């Protein structure tokens, strides 16, 4: 269920051709992104779900991995969403993952200063994804929002459905970052 590749073309066209959704203060297009990750067991088969909204257009992205963790899927969802945007945008990114939101808005600054080590001098878990999220988020103006999961927020519920369906689809794709991390532990 790889919807990612088929949706990139739409988003590239969207970002290039629609100027009426621009913020007059920044000149950037305003995109709303909702993300969620799921894992059947932790670790286990996992997936991510994404809902992107630009004006009246909505696109959904989802994909799954044979063996991964919930936190990795929670992080991969915003990475894929932000990478899909072909030009810098003003983004409101909403997730139910405190781990991802606090990591990218608070903890990452200390980790980078300490050479990707935690406050207890342990290597940061999922460092491959943290570096990727840090890089891609710098291309955009991102406001990171948190929403309580499974609380009736329609876009979050849809992302949860997409992520769970991707995990349940018996994915064969490998999460190479997770596998490499396991070899180091």
Euclidean distance between CA atoms 167 and 169, whole angstroms: 6
Residue 23 pLDDT level (bands cut at 50, 70, 90): low
Euclidean distance between CA atoms 170 and 167, whole angstroms: 7
pTM for this entry: 0.86
Euclidean distance between CA atoms 141 and 119, whole angstroms: 28
What is the distance, to the nearest Å, from the Cα of residue 136 to the centroid of all Cα atoms in its chain?
Answer: 10
Q: What confidence score (pLDDT) does residue 24 get?
A: 52
Q: What confidence score (pLDDT) does residue 13 get?
A: 37
Catalytic annotation on 12?
Answer: no
Catalytic annotation on 150?
Answer: yes
Domains of the chain, first to last: 4-184 (3.30.420.10)
- pLDDT at residue 12 tops 90: no
- Angle (deg, nearest 10), helices 176-184 and 127-137: 140
Residues belonging to the binding site are 36, 74, 96, 160
Q: Give mean pLDDT, residues 70-81.
A: 99
Residue 19 pLDDT level (bands cut at 50, 70, 90): very low
Q: What is the DSSP letter of 28?
A: P
Catalytic annotation on 37?
Answer: yes
């Amino acid at each position: 269920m790889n919807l990612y590749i088929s949706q990139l073309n739409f988003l590239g066209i969207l970002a290039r051709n629609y100027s009426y959704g621009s913020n007059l203060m920044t000149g950037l297009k305003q995109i709303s992104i909702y993300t969620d990750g799921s894992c059947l067991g932790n670790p286990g088969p996992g997936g991510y779900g994404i809902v992107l909204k630009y004006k009246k257009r909505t696109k959904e992205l989802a994909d799954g991995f044979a063996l991964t963790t919930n936190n990795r899927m929670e992080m991969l969802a915003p990475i894929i969403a932000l990478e899909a945007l072909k030009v810098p945008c003003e983004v409101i990114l909403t997730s139910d993952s405190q781990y991802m939101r606090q990591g990218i808005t608070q903890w990452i600054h200390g980790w980078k200063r300490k050479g990707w080590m935690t406050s207890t001098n342990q290597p940061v878990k999922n460092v491959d994804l943290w570096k990727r999220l840090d890089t891609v988020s710098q291309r955009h103006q991102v406001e990171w929002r948190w929403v309580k999961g499974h609380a009736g927020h329609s876009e979050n519920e849809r992302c949860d459905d997409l992520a769970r369906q991707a995990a349940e689809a018996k994915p064969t794709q490998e999460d190479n970052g997770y596998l490499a991390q396991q070899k180091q532990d």
